[in-house]
Amino acid sequence: RHSCVLMRGHGSTVVGTSIEQVVYRAIYAEVNARLQLAANGLGDITFLNEEEARLASDMNDGQIPRSWNLWIRRLGEIDLDAA
């Protein structure tokens, strides 16, 4: 049911149906955690209902190939011998 679980003192564990999906979810779990932490100071939070969460998940999954291709291109620009 949930694709990411936070483990106190140990980070997170992410699951998915492909390596691309797992990497995408792991990266954006951290990005979203930072955004939510910053937003906590703005007042009450209105959470998504189940349908909104499902639609958001479907929309996000549609962005995976684009993000994955960008990350692969960026890796190709890194000189691993110099690192």
| Total number of domains in the chain | 1
Residue 22 included in any domain = yes
Residue 82 included in any domain = no
Helices (H) and strands (E) in the chain, counts: 2, 2
Residue 23 included in any domain = yes
Residue 47 included in any domain = yes
Question: Which residues span the domain enclosing 60?
Answer: 4-76
pLDDT digits (tens, 9 = 90+) for 38-63: 988 888 888 899 999 999 999 999 99
pTM of the model: 0.79
What pLDDT sits at residue 83? 60
**3-state DSSP percent of the chain in helix, strand and coil, to 5:** 60, 10, 30
Residue 83 included in any domain = no
What pLDDT sits at residue 71? 94
Mean pLDDT of the chain: 91
What pLDDT sits at residue 1? 74
